[in-house]
Amino acid sequence: MSELFVSVLDWIAILCILAGAMLSFVAAVGLIRFPDLLSRMHTAAKPQVLGMLLVLLGIGLRIMPVEETGVFDFGTLILVGLFQVITVPVAGHIAARVGYRTGRIRHDLVVTDELEDRLDARRQAERTRQNGGSAP
């Protein structure tokens, strides 16, 4: 590869790593500054994952000119990014449901509460079933 191409790739990699680090920093500040569980979970999941993907892209661009094959390194970076993209939203969803069911969210900040409607319908159906099928 030409020296100019490697230099351009290095600068792009530096910009990706800096942008990813900045997004991760913003996510950390949001975890401290946001008022409730749901807002904190949003800031923990969205910018943190994008920041991590940008850092992985920067690392991949940086090691590309150095490695002969690069198969293992790129494969590892892709797997790390893929597992983060898959697991972080699922973990955030589970933590939000636990927080909701244990009453650790601020209901005054929730605009639309579809889960409460579902839980009320489920409770009503269970009460009806316990009363022998008659409405209370």
The answer on 100 and 111 residing in a single domain is no
State the pLDDT at residue 65: 67
**Residue (of 94, 108, 84, 90) closest to 36 by Cα position:** 108
The answer on 57 and 39 residing in a single domain is yes
**For the segment 11-68, what is each residue's pLDDT rounded down to a tens digit?**
999 999 999 999 999 999 988 998 888 888 888 888 888 999 999 999 988 887 666 6
The answer on 90 and 112 residing in a single domain is no
The answer on 12 and 36 residing in a single domain is yes
The answer on 22 and 60 residing in a single domain is yes
Q: How far is CA 39 from CA 22, 31, 43, 67, in A?
A: 19, 8, 6, 42
The answer on 54 and 111 residing in a single domain is no
The answer on 112 and 81 residing in a single domain is no
The answer on 125 and 88 residing in a single domain is no
Report how far residue 33's alpha carbon sits from residue 39's, in angstroms, rounded to the nearest whole number: 10
The set of long-range contacts for 33-41, using a CB threshold of 8 Å and a minimum separation of 24, is 35/106, 35/109, 36/105, 36/106, 36/109, 37/95, 37/96, 37/99, 37/104, 37/105, 37/106, 38/96, 38/99, 38/105, 38/109, 38/110, 39/109, 41/92, 41/95, 41/96, 41/99
Total structural domains within the chain: 2
The answer on 82 and 58 residing in a single domain is yes
Structural domain of residue 126, as residue ranges?
A: 106-136
Q: Which amino acid, one-letter code, is at 22?
A: M
43: left (phi over 0), alpha (psi -120 to 50) or beta: alpha
The answer on 78 and 28 residing in a single domain is yes
Those residues with Cβ within 8 angstroms of residue 129's Cβ, 6 or more apart along the chain or in another chain: none
pTM (predicted TM-score):
0.74
State the pLDDT at residue 45: 83
Report how far residue 54's alpha carbon sits from residue 31's, in angstroms, rounded to the nearest whole number: 20
The answer on 125 and 61 residing in a single domain is no
Is the per-residue pLDDT at 106 higher than 70?
Answer: yes
The answer on 83 and 28 residing in a single domain is yes
